[in-house]
């Protein structure tokens, strides 16, 4: 399995962007395109459907050496032996019993929409942090972008791998890289592309044009 520190392109199987494709087919296309991480995100699905879908995807991601990230459902990620579980700030910090990652549990990823939340998250044992949404994005309707200023702050202050997320496209990725990001999450710009595999390859190529930092 690819080490998290070497992962640069974080892609998604998102229930809102299936466009008549099966999650398994989409996961295969993302792996073929060089996605380094794949998150299963299904905000509108019951947990049992997420479990069934994850069970269909895991053989594909394992064969490709791509870590699978389960969004929101810590216990489900643990049961499935998924490599990572991604949580929002409220899910982690406002939980009566916050998840406790260990060698027996998934690694933890945390969203950080602002520097103060990133500072708090860096006091946890999260394996990586997500910075954004950098630009307005339909995956977070009504939420303004945190702007490239936050990306610059993250580049100067983060103490572990972090991924810029939110509205990143092939048209604006250069500005995100110039601000200091070396890892990105991409949802709609890949999943809405006519050729998902090719879109992944294009993002991977752009990321490879800059040296990897922490």
pLDDT score recorded for residue 102: 61
CATH code, domain carrying 86 = 3.20.20.70
Ranges in the chain, pLDDT < 70: 96-98, 100-105, 137-145, 214
Distances (CA, A) of 75 to 35, 53, 72: 25, 16, 9
Is 213 part of any domain? no
Query: Whole-model pTM?
Result: 0.93
pLDDT, tens only, 151-203? 999 999 999 999 999 999 999 999 999 999 999 999 999 999 999 999 999 99
Cα 112 to Cα 12: distance, rounded to the nearest angstrom: 18
pLDDT score recorded for residue 103: 58
What's the token pair of residue 69?
């990230």
Is 90 part of any domain? yes
Total domain count, the chain: 1
pLDDT score recorded for residue 140: 64
pLDDT score recorded for residue 54: 97
Domain that holds residue 179: 4-207
**Where would I find the beta strands (DSSP E) of the chain?**
9-14, 37-41, 68-71, 84-87, 107-112, 128-131, 162-165, 184-185
Is 212 part of any domain? no
């Amino acid at each position: 399995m690819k080490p998290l520190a070497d992962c640069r392109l974080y892609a998604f199987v998102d229930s809102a962007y299936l466009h008549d494709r099966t999650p398994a087919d989409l996961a295969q296309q993302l792996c073929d395109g060089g996605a380094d991480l794949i998150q299963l995100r299904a905000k509108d699905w019951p947990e049992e459907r997420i479990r069934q879908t994850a069970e269909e995807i895991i053989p594909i991601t394992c064969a490709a050496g791509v870590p699978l990230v389960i969004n929101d459902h810590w216990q489900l990620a643990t049961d499935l032996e998924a490599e990572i579980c991604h949580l929002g700030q409220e899910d982690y910090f406002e939980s009566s019993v916050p998840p406790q990652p260990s060698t027996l549990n998934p690694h933890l990823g945390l969203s950080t929409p602002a520097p103060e939340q990133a500072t708090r998250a860096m006091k946890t044992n999260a394996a990586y942090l997500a910075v954004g949404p950098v630009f307005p994005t339909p995956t977070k309707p009504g939420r303004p972008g945190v702007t490239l200023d936050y990306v610059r702050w993250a580049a100067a202050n983060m103490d572990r791998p972090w991924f810029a997320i939110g509205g990143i496209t092939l048209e604006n990725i250069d500005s995100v890289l110039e601000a200091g990001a070396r890892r990105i999450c991409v949802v709609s710009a890949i999943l809405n592309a006519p050729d998902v595999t090719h879109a992944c390859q294009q993002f991977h190529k752009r990321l490879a044009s800059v040296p990897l930092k922490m």
